[in-house]
Amino acid sequence: MTHYFLFGKTDQGLHRKKNEDTILVNEDKGFCLVADGIGGTAAGDVASQLFARTASDVFSMEQNPDGRESERVKKTFLIANDNILKYAKNNPACEGMGCTAELLALSDKRYVLGHMGDSRAYRLRRGNLKQLTTDHSLVQEQLEQGMITKEEAATHSFKNVILRAVGIKKNPTLDLLRGTLFPGDLFLLCSDGLTDMIEDSLIKKHLVSKTDIRKKAEDLIHEANAHGGKDNVSVVLAQIL
C-alpha cells in the first residue's frame, strides 16, 4: 500500500486585488489540486472554487476501487466544465470565466494527473526534476513550432494567452497522464504565479532541500513574491513515502 503526505498553500501575491487561485488537498480520498481562475473581472475565483467543489463531490461520492482514478479525474473536469458554463449563463456579467487546473489522484503504486491550461505539474525523482505537463498556451505552441526561442517565450507579450481551460467551451480536450509511484517521489502542482516568477532551477533547489514539504511550499511562495509577486501563487506538494 502506497503512503503519502499532501500539503498546499496559496498566496494573493503582491499586486493582485484578490486571490483567484484555489487549492485542495484530501489525503483520505487520495487527491490534490490547483485551479487558477481566468477571465479578468469575470469571476475567475468562482470558477476555480467550482472546480475544487466538483472534485470534492466526485471523489466523495465515487466508491470505485483502486485503479479507477482515471474515471474520477475525467468526471471532475467534465462536470466542472459544465458547472462553470452554467454559472456564466445564469450570470451574464461573468461571461468568459474559467480556470486552469491540475488534479492529481493517487492509488496503490499509481497516479493519474489531469491537466488543462498553463498551471503545471512537476515530479522530483532521485534528484531529477521533470515537468510532466505541457502548457496549453499560444506561446508554448509558437515555441514548439520553432517560431520563438525559450528566452523570447519568457517575456512574450502574449504569454498569458491560454488555448485551453475549464469552463470556456463545451467538451474541452483534457490531458490525462498516468504513471507509477516510487518511494521518495515528490509531485508539485502550481499556478503560473510560481513559474512566471522563478525558473525551474530555483524550484528544484527548494524541492531537494532537507526540509519538510510544508517548509518547501512556504519557501517557494516566498521566492515568487521576492521575485516580483505579480500574480496569485499556489503550490501543492505530494510526497510519496
Q: Where would I find the H helices in the chain?
A: 44-61, 69-90, 138-144, 150-154, 192-195, 200-207, 213-226
* Nearest partner of 103 among 140, 63, 53, judged by Cα: 53
Per-residue pLDDT tens for 62-102? 555 556 899 999 999 999 999 999 999 999 999 999 999 99
CA distance linking residue 172 with residue 97, whole number of Å: 15
- Cα dist. 192→68, 136, 137, 178, 199 in Å? 29, 12, 12, 22, 11
> Amino acid letter at 23?
I
Average pLDDT over residues 47-71: 85
Query: Percent of the chain having pLDDT more than 90?
Result: 82
What pLDDT is recorded for position 151?
Answer: 67
If you write DSSP's letter for every residue of 132-192 in order, what string do you get? -----BHHHHHHHTTSS-HHHHHT-TTTT-BS--BTSSSS---EEEEEE--TT-EEEEE-H
SS3 for 165?
coil
* Nearest partner of 26 among 47, 54, 5, judged by Cα: 5
Contact 193, 231 (CB under 8 A): yes
Joined grid coordinates for residue 166? 475549464
Average pLDDT over residues 7-26: 97
Contact 213, 156 (CB under 8 A): no
What pLDDT is recorded for position 108?
Answer: 87
Place of cell 487527491: 31
Per-residue pLDDT tens for 186-198? 999 999 999 999 9
Question: How many domains does the chain fold into?
Answer: 1
The CATH number given to whatever domain includes residue 98 is: 3.60.40.10
Range of the domain at 145: 4-240
Mean residue pLDDT across the chain:
92
With 0-12 CB in 10 A as exposed, 13-18 as middle and 19+ as buried, what is 209?
exposed
